[in-house]
Amino acid sequence: MPCFAFGRLADSFSASSLKNYLAEFISTLLFVFAGVGSAIAYAKVSGGAALDPAGLVAIAICHAFALFVAVSVSCNISGGHVNPAVTFGLAVGGRITILTGLFYWIAQLIGAVAACFLLKFVTGGLAIPIHALGAGVGAFEGVVFEIIITFALVYTVYATAADPSKGSLGTIAPIAIGFIVGANILAAGPFSGGSMNPARSFGPAVASGNFSGLWIYWVGPLIGGGLAGLIYGNVFIHSEHVPLVNEV
């Protein structure tokens, strides 16, 4: 059975931990820059038209590719979380200490905000699109959507990257993680926005100054990620706390 581990402040400021935070900052920045940038680019080439099927597919593919790369370049350093909901799910399942997870959150959120302000600068001040519910979708339905799709994401992270018994399966983890995010955006994008990632929603909200409905993209993903950590960590992993990243 996994156990929660709070961690020690000294360990969270070790040289290896600081490298982990930097890796999470960079990988989250790269992912959000490409993901949000794809939405801005589609709006530009389509004349600002509402998202259509072609745009949905293009944006989903961009997020899948970008996350595949972001996880790949940081997985051997920080574990390649790139998402506060993933970090939370791994902390619930005993794969990372709570204290280290909090610093991961800070690095991820700063990376997302930096990416969005960079986009605002390089695009000449074009609007930064935020996550929002589709027409006819209520807040409760949006939260449930985000719970389900984030559960799928974090469960995939566990099954391919965080399970100590995964063996060679871990080599395809970035591909599987990118695929599930792309698929979930195709399924949920027109309804909840398909965030699965509080940082991905937080960055655009800060850069645009529009925090409307942002709570949905914290509550849903954190519940979904936490449930995945509880279920996979308790049912399929039988070892005690084994950090996914070097925390000492």
User: Residues 119-144: pLDDT tens digits?
Assistant: 999 999 999 999 999 999 999 999 99
Answer whether residue 198 is part of any domain.
yes
Answer whether residue 242 is part of any domain.
no
Residue 9 banded pLDDT, cuts 50, 70, 90: confident
Answer whether residue 13 is part of any domain.
yes
Answer whether residue 127 is part of any domain.
yes
The total number of structural domains in the chain stands at 1
Mean residue pLDDT of the chain comes to: 92
Answer whether residue 131 is part of any domain.
yes
Flag whether pLDDT at 238 surpasses 70. Answer: no
Answer whether residue 4 is part of any domain.
no
Angle formed by the axes of helices 173-188 and 53-74, to 10°? 150
Dihedral angle sign, alpha carbons of residues 203, 205, 206, 212: negative
Query: What does the pLDDT read at residue 242?
Result: 46
For residues 91 and 4, the answer to whether their CB atoms sit within 8 Å is yes
- CATH label of the domain that carries residue 210: 1.20.1080.10
Residue 7 banded pLDDT, cuts 50, 70, 90: confident
Cα–Cα dist 65/72, whole Å: 11
Which position has the higher pLDDT, 245 or 193? 193
Tokens for 122? 């390089």
By the 10 Å C-beta count (0-12 exposed, 13-18 middle, 19+ buried), 45 is classed as exposed
Flag whether pLDDT at 241 surpasses 80. Answer: no
Answer whether residue 241 is part of any domain.
no
Query: What does the pLDDT read at residue 1?
Result: 54
Answer whether residue 245 is part of any domain.
no
Domain range for residue 107?
A: 9-236
- pTM metric for this prediction: 0.93
Q: What digits encode the pLDDT tens for the residues 81-105?
A: 999 999 999 999 989 999 999 999 9
Q: What digits encode the pLDDT tens for the residues 182-233?
A: 999 999 999 999 999 999 999 999 999 999 999 999 999 999 999 999 999 8
Flag whether pLDDT at 164 surpasses 90. Answer: no
| Mean pLDDT confidence for 154-158 | 97
Residue 148: closest CA among 103, 116, 191, 114: 191
